[in-house]
Amino acid sequence: MNYKTLEVKPHGENVLVVTLNRPEVANAINTQMGHDQLDFWSRLSAELGKIRCVVLTGAGGRAFCAGGDLKERDGMTQAAWQAQHELFERAFVALVECTVPVIAAVNGHAFGGGLEMALCCDFAYAAQGARFALSEVSLGIMPGGMGTQNLPRAVGERRAKELILTARPFNAAEALEWGVVNRVCEPGKLMPEALETAEKIAANAPLSVRQAKKSIHYGLQMDLLTGYRFEIEAYDRLVDTDDRREGVKAFNEKRKPDFKGK
């Protein structure tokens, strides 16, 4: 996979590291990055191969992603803006619906669409100096990358309203306290810790991980009993798999299981 704005590298056999690669503009999202992300996340879900987990981060030391590229957008017609945003919308949905877990390693500032991108991942780790904001209302627009949906799900409705309506930035410690990120790391330890977690996920049964991710994601959009029925449907698909048989056999033989994703 060769992209102009993304760097995609394997980490071992089962993990991919995807880097937003426009460091000269704080990894801002331009039209090309929209095309690249839509293609990558869609293709990955369709052609997983041996990939079991992804770590998403930003190039350079100062930013994960600064949000939409406002220099590219300066002077855009309404039609061009809306066409570009339709592309971005499809890319965000493809990320949310990615089959395998995606961990955001927020190495620097995540503003606007950059924070929305991190919120679209399954969970996030952040460097100590990272700062966050959904600042769109200060620009005459509003969050349009699931920010008004994902932030309340992470921090609660009242705090999300405060953060979005004031457009105020917040730091990594606050992001941890409020549930935006799962862990705050020293800058030099961010990627090692994110990759260690990705490796732990990748060592588990891949079909089980994917079914559990799907059950959590969609179950939270249902009432409890409907979500539970969805969970059981996902569970039942795992019973007649080689990995389930291997997992039980390995447990009884007191050895590490060798999962094949079958």
pLDDT in tens, the chain (262 residues): 789 999 999 999 999 999 999 999 999 999 999 999 999 999 999 998 999 999 999 999 889 999 999 888 888 899 999 999 999 999 999 999 999 999 999 999 999 999 999 999 999 999 999 999 999 999 999 999 999 999 999 999 999 999 999 999 999 999 999 999 999 999 899 999 999 999 999 999 999 999 999 999 999 999 999 999 999 999 999 999 999 998 999 999 999 998 998 9
Q: How far apart are CA 224 and CA 185, in angstroms?
A: 34
**Catalytically annotated residue among 86, 89, 97, 136:** 136
What is the fold, at CATH topology level, of the domain defined by 6-202?
A: 2-enoyl-CoA Hydratase; Chain A, domain 1 (3.90.226)
Q: Is the dihedral of CA 234, 235, 237, 238 positive or negative?
A: positive
Q: How far apart are CA 139 and CA 212, in angstroms?
A: 39
On whether the CB atoms of residues 26 and 63 are closer than 8 A, the answer is yes
**Catalytically annotated residue among 24, 72, 116, 157:** 116
Q: Is the pTM of this model over 0.85?
A: yes
Q: Which stretches of the chain are DSSP H helices?
A: 31-46, 70-73, 78-96, 113-120, 147-155, 157-166, 172-178, 190-203, 206-219, 224-239, 242-252
Q: How far apart are CA 134 and CA 143, in angstroms?
A: 7
Sequence spans of domains, the chain: 6-202, 205-252
Asked if 136 is an active-site residue, the reply is yes
Q: What is the dihedral of CA 210, 35, 91, 171, to 10 degrees?
A: 100
The domain 205-252 is placed in CATH, from the list 3.20.20.140, 1.10.12.10, 1.10.246.90, 3.40.50.1400, at: 1.10.12.10
